[in-house]
Structure 1
């Protein structure tokens, strides 16, 4: 579990203890309560240190998170709120907070047509009413396509991941003549380049299945679910796109001409990107990733303004693809010349 979730659980637990009028809590009691709350949430032993709880109490007292909690120590031993009606869940919001929430609402409203967000419409409306939203037009536009085939499957896939259900999916890849049934253990949903994918366990290996190739989905009740405990950020950390393999990450070194280098510099191809060297003609970049289909497509998309230097095998593959593309254009020109004669 992420450290942010840990902290939220501890703050919630401390708040419950500090506003309890019928029990006295020492620092050791608060530590035990936080440890027990984390154990209940994670299902495994979670020891919270004394320093962590002391820092949590300090943060709750401060303006850091907007709490400014009136925590006091009485009898030099016990902790409580000096205001018996106080709770971190009763925090008032200022004008700046309202503006931030209003902006967030405008972004959330852009997802209203996705089936998995439909039940959010009522929540969004309540938020708008409660903060007196100005109903302004959205000035942040997210790239999305509600007409994508396969979006109708998101609900059952999402629910199956949450509820740890095995699925039987009738799936037809672009290269298959007929659809096949895959019995999979769904783990993650991933969006890349305006397409959605299901990351799942199939016959002991991880696969990514495109939602637009799924023809039918049903839950398999007689098979025990296998949870891979995947964290998206960790699973895709060395990846451009969605295809993860067992191969090691490689340094990919490429140069971009001077006119296009600023675009690559300000929108890195991967979080590992760094500048190796720079001249008036071009900039050399380096990323550390697994080499997959999506990376090749991304690099090819830069056309003649990008050159791959390393690794050699990737460079040769890129060269061959450009040769084939050039040959295709030559053949097209020849056909048009013949038709015009």
Structure 2
């Protein structure tokens, strides 16, 4: 896998290819030097193209008719690559910042709600995921503050709202659980192999159908199409920060309004996201979800009486 410096260069290459529909090697090398002060040879550039293909499934092809290179724009793959590059960049910034805090403080304004608690646990968790070994840790119960000991088979790491969660199977259960890494302590990787996870594939797939980390059948037992109408240019914000990968936007004659649709299983986190948009969004379909939203809004209004 590419190191910090190489991944930064790969990200710049992909950005240039995204900005320009077609570009020659010579132009790409000149742009890297002129815009980013990155010096690279044609041979190194070819190696980077190969890494982007083999490691990130990003295809860069030569167009003989236009005499230049073009990036095959798969939005899902590009989004995944840029997210990985963003995390890499953030890790590098924080690493450098820890070595030189005065420089770190000059450029970074961290969100007060995101103190990166538990970030030191990620390395051990990733190692256990790669080696398919169990993890043991102490967990503080969210409601009682009781300290509980957990031994789990790790499945995935998931980020949501600036927090990281371990998706895992607790020993002695057959259900996937989520553990906030900021509430873990005394984390250790055991030498004991994790349990067979094939039977949990269907549970893992369900994460694709939700917003956040908690799936439930409280509102619907399966994914449904949800149609919303947005106002006051809210669709522009949703376009830059989608609530879910299934999100689609249809523009209306009134340019400040739009129809935004999703295909997902509504859960608490999704409803909280919609409620957070306040008066600038309304659920049109399905009727059942529209009624749920009306009930929640009425309860909120009653608190103000």
Q: What residue is the counterpart of 1:162 in the other structure?
A: 130
Q: 1:306 to 1:151 in 2, by over 3 A?
A: same
SS in 1 for 2:187: strand
Asked whether the 8 Å contact 1:185–1:226 carries over to 2, the reply is: no
- Deviation string, structure 1 residues 67-113 (Cα, Å, up to 9, x no partner): xxxxxxxxxxxxxxxxxxxxxxxxxx944445568599998554236
1:195 aligned to which of 135, 139, 163: 163
Q: CA RMSD in A?
A: 4.4
1:215 equivalent to 2:185? Answer yes
1:306 equivalent to 2:274? Answer no
More off after superposition, 138-147 vs 319-328 = 138-147
- Deviation string, structure 1 residues 104-131 (Cα, Å, up to 9, x no partner): 99985542365xx68xx9xxxxxxxxxx
1:271 equivalent to 2:236? Answer no
1:111 equivalent to 2:91? Answer yes
1:326 shift after superposition: 1.8
More off after superposition, 199-208 vs 285-294 = 199-208
**Equivalents in 2 of 1:144, 1:161: separation in Å?**
30
Scaled by the length of structure 2, the TM-score of the pair is 0.58
SS in 2 for 1:294: helix
**Equivalents in 1 of 2:239, 2:246: separation in Å?**
12
Structure index of larger Rg = 1
Listed as ranges, the gaps of 5+ residues in structure 1 are: 1-63, 67-92, 122-137, 331-341
**Equivalents in 1 of 2:268, 2:113: separation in Å?**
23
**Equivalents in 1 of 2:87, 2:149: separation in Å?**
37
4+ residue stretches of structure 1 with deviation over 6 A?
103-107, 138-146
Greater RCO (CA < 8 Å, at least 6 residues apart)? 2
1:154 shift after superposition: 1.5
Alignment of 1:48-197 (within 5 A): 94-98=29-33, 102=38, 108=88, 110-112=90-92, 147-197=115-165
